Amino acid sequence: MRLGILEDDATQISIYELLFSSTAKYQYQFFGTIASFLCALKQEKFDLLIIDWILPDGTAGEVLKWVRDSLKWHIPVICVTACNSESDVVNVLHMGADDYFVKSSRYFELLARIESLARRSQEKQAVTNLQFGSYEIDHENQAIIIAGKQVELTQKEFALTCYLFQNQNKLLSRVHLLEKIWGLAAEIDTRTVDTHISRIRHKLSFSSQNEWDVSTIYGYGYRLQQTRNTAIA
């Protein structure tokens, strides 16, 4: 597995070298600036990116935006940060990171997160497009196609939509969705789920008047169901 690592702190780089050199499973390359990192991404292929949140020539948010705009969602990204407050974690994930890691002495946890993301990435690549009436799930481009028109979603919006379709007609609690999509148990307020449901309702035209609708079960969660209006103009 090839890792592209954006990190300028010498101590942190030494820790990574010790960690990743302990097994032949990883090949890795370090970059100290955003400029050198983006230049490499335009020319080389990596299987996973590790990005420090504090950078000398910009922000990790800028890097994430470029990666998602240019490389789409084909490559998993872990952001490494010294902050672990709820707002910091939410910010990292909303900007497009697949996962986050708080700097600590628990670096074998980072290895576990890398392995988990790698498995999920391979599973996504193996999945073909799925059709649900007029809605098609395009895994390669992380988009939903409705009656031939592509609707682009953020990573979490796409993951949430896929999970709802895969579990249609099932009542899913907010806590369950939080664990499955964000993998963070109760560390993030469940209003995060509500916000994402609201966004995909709008973007994908989920309503009782259209083909699919997400019903709200007050105080509990959501259910995706096909309505009687099975035709979309």
The domain made up of 129-226 has a fold known as Arc Repressor Mutant, subunit A (1.10.10)
Give start-end residues of each CATH 3.40.50.2300 domain in the chain. 2-125
Decide if pLDDT at 198 tops 70.
yes
pLDDT score of 90: 80
- The secondary element (H helix, E strand) that includes residue 105 is none
- For 66-80, the DSSP string reads HHHHHSTTSS-EEEE
- Cα(197)–Cα(162) distance, integer angstroms: 12
Task: Give the CA angle between residues 35, 38, 40 to the nearest 5°.
Answer: 110
Which stretches of 9-153 are DSSP H helices? 10-20, 34-43, 60-70, 86-94, 107-126
- Cα(102)–Cα(112) distance, integer angstroms: 14
Residues 51-90 have pLDDT tens digits of 998 888 888 888 988 888 787 666 889 999 887 777 777 8
- Cα(169)–Cα(171) distance, integer angstroms: 7
Least confident stretch, 30-34, 139-143, 187-191: 187-191
Give start-end residues of each CATH 1.10.10.10 domain in the chain. 129-226
Is-above-0.85 flag for pTM? Answer: no
Question: What is the domain class of 2-125 according to CATH?
Answer: alpha beta
Residues 30-51 have pLDDT tens digits of 999 999 999 999 888 898 999 9
Of the pLDDT bands very low, low, confident and very high (cuts 50, 70, 90), residue 231 is very low
Residues 8-25 have pLDDT tens digits of 999 999 999 988 988 788
Q: Among candidates 34, 27, 25, 26, which has minimal Cα distance to 7? A: 34
- Cα(92)–Cα(81) distance, integer angstroms: 9
Decide if pLDDT at 199 tops 90.
yes
Tokens in use for 45?
Answer: 């292929």
- Cα(17)–Cα(11) distance, integer angstroms: 10
Decide if pLDDT at 120 tops 80.
no
